[in-house]
Structure 1
Amino acid sequence: MSEVVHAYAAPKAGAPLEPFEYDAGPLADNQVEVAVTHCGICHSDLSMIENEWGMSAFPLVPGHEASGAIVKMGSQVKGLKIGQRVGVGWQSGSCMSCSHCLGGDHNLCSDSAATIVGHHGGFADKVRCDWQFVVPLPDALSAADVGPLFCGGVTVFNPMLQYGVLPTHRIGVIGIGGLGHMALQFANKWGCEVTAFTSSDSKREEAKKLGAHNVVNSRDSDAMGKLKGSLDFVLSTVNVSLDWPVILDTLAPKGKLLLVGAVLDPIPVSAMALIMPQRSIGGSPIGSPTTIAKMLDFCARHEISPQIETFPMSKVNDALEHLKAGKARYRIVLENDLAG
Structure 2
Amino acid sequence: MIKGYACKEKGGQLKSFEYDPGALGPDEVEVEVEFCGICHSDLAMIDNDWGMSSYPFIPGHEAVGKIVAVGDQVSQDRVGQRVGVGWQSASCNHCKKCGVGKESLCLNGSEVAETIVGRNGAWAEKVRSQAKWAIPIPETLDPSLAGPLMCAGTTVWSPIRHHGVRPGMETAVLGVGGLGHLAVQFLAKMGTQVTGLSTTRSKEEGTRELGATNFIATKESPEDLEKAAGRFDVIVSTVSADVDWNAYIQTLSPEGTLILCGVPGGAVEFMPFPLIGTEKKIAGGRAGAPADTQAMLEFCATHDIAPMCEQFAMEDINKAVQHVRDGKARYRAVVAA
- Structure 1 residue 278: deviation in Å? 1.1
TM-score normalised by the chain length of structure 2: 0.97
Query: Residue type of the partner of 1:127?
Result: V
- Structure 1 residue 325: deviation in Å? 0.4
Alpha-carbon distance change, 9 to 221 in structure 1, aligned in 2, over 3 angstroms: same
Q: Aligned equivalents of 2:244 and 2:51: distance in 1?
A: 29
Could you tell me whether the CA contact under 8 Å between 2:62 and 2:150 is conserved in 1?
yes
Partner in structure 1 of residue 317 of structure 2 = 316
Could you tell me whether the CA contact under 8 Å between 2:7 and 2:55 is conserved in 1?
yes
Q: Aligned equivalents of 1:249 and 1:199: distance in 2?
A: 17
Is 2:88 the counterpart of 1:88?
no
Is 2:41 the counterpart of 1:44?
yes
Partner in structure 2 of residue 5 of structure 1 = 2
- Structure 1 residue 80: deviation in Å? 4.6
Partner in structure 2 of residue 159 of structure 1 = 159
Gaps of 5+ in 1: none
Partner in structure 2 of residue 190 of structure 1 = 190
Q: Aligned equivalents of 1:257 and 1:130: distance in 2?
A: 33
Number of paired residues?
Answer: 333
Partner in structure 1 of residue 214 of structure 2 = 214
Matches within 5 A, 1:1-340: 4-78=1-75, 80-110=77-107, 111=109, 112-219=112-219, 220-336=221-337
Query: Residue type of the partner of 2:152?
Result: G
* Helix, strand or coil at the partner of 1:233: strand
Q: Aligned equivalents of 2:222 and 2:203: distance in 1?
A: 18
- Structure 1 residue 60: deviation in Å? 1.1
Q: Aligned equivalents of 1:193 and 1:79: distance in 2?
A: 45
> 1:305-337 deviations in whole A, cap 9, x for unaligned?
00000100100000010001000000000000x
TM-score normalised by the chain length of structure 1: 0.96
Query: Residue type of the partner of 1:98?
Result: C
Q: Aligned equivalents of 1:26 and 1:267: distance in 2?
A: 44
- Structure 1 residue 187: deviation in Å? 0.3
- Structure 1 residue 222: deviation in Å? 1.0
Q: Aligned equivalents of 2:77 and 2:132: distance in 1?
A: 10
Could you tell me whether the CA contact under 8 Å between 2:70 and 2:76 is conserved in 1?
no
> 1:50-108 deviations in whole A, cap 9, x for unaligned?
01111111101000000010100111014852111111000110111111111111001
Could you tell me whether the CA contact under 8 Å between 2:320 and 2:333 is conserved in 1?
yes
* Helix, strand or coil at the partner of 1:240: coil
- Structure 1 residue 259: deviation in Å? 0.3
Q: Aligned equivalents of 1:94 and 1:82: distance in 2?
A: 22
Q: Calculate the aligned-residue CA RMSD, in Å.
A: 0.9
Q: Aligned equivalents of 2:264 and 2:291: distance in 1?
A: 27
Query: Residue type of the partner of 1:168?
Result: G
Q: Percent identity?
A: 44
Q: Aligned equivalents of 2:276 and 2:54: distance in 1?
A: 44
> 1:131-158 deviations in whole A, cap 9, x for unaligned?
1110011010011111000000000000
Q: Aligned equivalents of 1:229 and 1:165: distance in 2?
A: 17
Q: Which segment drifts farther, 19-28 or 60-69? A: 19-28
Q: Aligned equivalents of 1:230 and 1:24: distance in 2?
A: 52
> 1:272-304 deviations in whole A, cap 9, x for unaligned?
110111111111111000100000000000000
* Helix, strand or coil at the partner of 2:29: strand
> 1:174-219 deviations in whole A, cap 9, x for unaligned?
0010000000000000000000001121111000001110010011
Could you tell me whether the CA contact under 8 Å between 2:3 and 2:19 is conserved in 1?
yes
* Helix, strand or coil at the partner of 1:122: coil
Alpha-carbon distance change, 165 to 106 in structure 1, aligned in 2, over 3 angstroms: same
> 1:218-251 deviations in whole A, cap 9, x for unaligned?
1122111111111100010001111111111111
Which contiguous aligned blocks of 4+ residues in structure 1 show a shift greater than 4 angstroms?
none
* Helix, strand or coil at the partner of 1:276: helix
* Helix, strand or coil at the partner of 1:204: helix
